[in-house]
């Protein structure tokens, strides 16, 4: 059913001729062209990130490498339509694996019928179907998160082992390599494990997680001549959530001019990051009241929708999300959420904090929704059972 829904979407809605691969795809193109892991370059007096056979692009750590590596093989296919079709097919298969993983995880905590409903939601929710055609890590993140989640829960068990801690750390490392902001969750998760006094497991988790990024950090030190723990896009993302234009804005004219004036070379992204970071901090210091107001706006964008965003403005997006959110609230109220499902609670909290610190896009909400589906399904079954009980107890006339 999940595969059929995504096939119908691809055949009827998705534009197979489009080449919208975002930064991930531009880096993958440069890799395919033999330019190494690179992104930005000066096209005359203007900085761009659009790959070109004639460009001399600069070494990059702007995006984490996992999804770039996923896209890279597809660029050996020159035909755009065939390439896009193959990407969507592979991402649809990964989405199907996420549905299976959702069902298996649900069986560990909820009745079988609730597990089946959660899997059905993961298979058919419109934005999840759309994600199969999005050239972003959303679908891969969903599958990786659901595969790692049982390992994260095991930290609360008396039988928690170092082996599980190692596997959990490897899973989390993979998720950070997909989306670097997942590192915030790992920090709060590790702190929570320490509070629970699982010291050996915490030490193993931290050690493996830290070691997992050594190859990437060594590569960054060699190619960009600096220690870069994860990526060079922190400043840009911070600016997009703290600027005088609007939430999510890339830059004003003055910023574009300053960015274009940065000398090309291995340290280009470091200087670009510094420029964005300084502008964002300057705005925050000068506009404290607006910063407070914007924090609530970001919360609304993340947990509801951005009314100015065309993607989340559609009723097909809003109506299911409102019902999902309401049922999730019912489901969460009926479980010991922070006691029994603390990894999910921490993930939702970390995702919310990330949205407030930076900014929110619909796909950020979609990545978070995978953690709400189990509780929405639980809430739906609770409401259904209550309605059935009320109906059966109603007096006959």
The answer to the question of residue 227 being in a domain is yes
Please tell me the predicted confidence (pLDDT) of residue 233: 97
User: Domain for residue 393, yes or no?
Assistant: no
Query: Has residue 354 been placed in a domain?
Result: yes
- 394 falls within a domain: no
Q: DSSP secondary structure string, 259-293?
A: HHHSPPSTTHHHHHHHHHHHHHHHHHHH-HHHHHH
Distance CA 9, CA 353 (A): 33
What confidence score (pLDDT) does residue 391 get? Answer: 72
Question: What's the structural domain count of the chain?
Answer: 1
Phi, psi of 41 (to 5 degrees): -160, 160
Cα torsion 345, 211, 204, 169 to 10°: value is 30
Cα angle value 336/109/200 (rounded, 5°): 80
Q: Is residue 302 part of a domain?
A: yes
Q: What pLDDT does residue 314 have? A: 79
Q: pLDDT value at position 159?
A: 59
Backbone angles phi, psi at 177, to 5 degrees: -65, -20
Closest by Cα among 111, 94, 185 to 147: 94
Structure tokens at 21: 């691969």
Q: Does residue 133 belong to any structural domain of this protein?
A: yes
Position 397 in a domain: no
Structural domain boundaries, residue 366: 2-388
Q: What pLDDT is stored for residue 396 in this prediction?
A: 59
- Tens of each residue's pLDDT in the chain, 397 residues: 889 999 999 999 899 999 999 999 999 999 999 999 999 999 998 999 999 999 999 999 999 999 999 999 999 999 999 999 999 999 999 999 999 999 999 999 999 999 999 999 999 999 999 999 999 999 999 999 999 999 999 987 655 688 999 999 999 999 999 999 999 999 999 999 999 999 999 999 999 999 999 999 999 999 999 999 999 999 999 999 999 999 999 999 999 999 999 999 999 999 999 999 999 999 999 999 999 999 999 999 999 998 888 777 778 888 999 999 999 999 999 999 999 999 999 999 999 999 999 999 999 999 999 999 999 999 999 999 999 887 777 665 5
Whether residue 6 lies inside any domain: the answer is yes
pTM higher than the cut 0.75: yes
Q: Are 26 and 39 in contact (CB under 8 A)?
A: yes
């Amino acid at each position: 059913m999940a595969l059929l829904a995504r096939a119908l979407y691809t055949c009827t809605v998705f534009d197979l001729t489009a080449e919208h691969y975002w930064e991930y795809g531009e880096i993958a193109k440069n890799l395919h062209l033999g330019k190494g892991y690179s992104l930005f370059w000066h096209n005359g007096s203007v900085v761009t990130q659009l790959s070109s056979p004639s460009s001399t692009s600069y070494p990059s750590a702007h995006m984490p490498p996992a999804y770039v590596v996923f896209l890279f093989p597809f660029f050996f296919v020159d035909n755009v339509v065939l390439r896009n079709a193959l990407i969507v097919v592979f991402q649809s298969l990964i989405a199907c694996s996420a549905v299976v993983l959702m069902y298996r995880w649900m069986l560990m905590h909820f009745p079988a019928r609730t597990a089946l409903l959660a899997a059905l939601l993961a298979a058919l929710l419109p934005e999840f179907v759309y994600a199969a055609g999005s050239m972003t890590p959303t679908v891969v993140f969903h599958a990786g998160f659901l595969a790692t989640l049982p390992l994260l829960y095991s930290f609360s068990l008396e039988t928690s082992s170092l082996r599980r801690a190692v596997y959990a750390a490897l899973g989390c490392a993979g998720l950070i390599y997909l989306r670097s902001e997942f590192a915030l969750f790992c920090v709060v998760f590790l702190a929570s494990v320490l509070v629970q006094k699982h010291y050996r497991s915490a030490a193993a988790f931290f050690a493996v997680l830290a070691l997992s990024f050594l190859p990437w950090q060594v590569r960054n030190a060699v190619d960009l001549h600096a220690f870069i723990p994860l990526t060079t896009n922190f400043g840009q993302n911070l600016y997009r959530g703290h600027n005088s234009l609007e939430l999510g804005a890339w830059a004003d004219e003055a910023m574009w001019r300053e960015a274009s004036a940065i000398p090309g070379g291995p340290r280009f992204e470091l200087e670009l990051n510094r420029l964005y970071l300084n502008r964002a901090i300057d705005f925050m210091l000068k506009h404290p009241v607006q910063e407070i107001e914007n924090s609530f706006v970001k919360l609304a964008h993340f947990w509801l929708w951005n009314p100015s965003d065309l993607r989340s403005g559609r009723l097909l997006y809003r109506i299911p999300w409102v019902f999902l959110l309401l049922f999730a609230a019912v489901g969460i109220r009926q479980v010991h959420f922070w006691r029994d499902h603390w990894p999910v609670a921490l993930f939702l909290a970390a995702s919310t904090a990330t949205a407030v610190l930076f900014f929110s896009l619909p796909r950020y909400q979609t990545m978070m929704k995978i953690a709400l589906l189990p509780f929405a399904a639980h809430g739906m079954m609770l409401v259904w059972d209550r309605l059935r009980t009320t109906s059966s107890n109603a007096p006959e006339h």
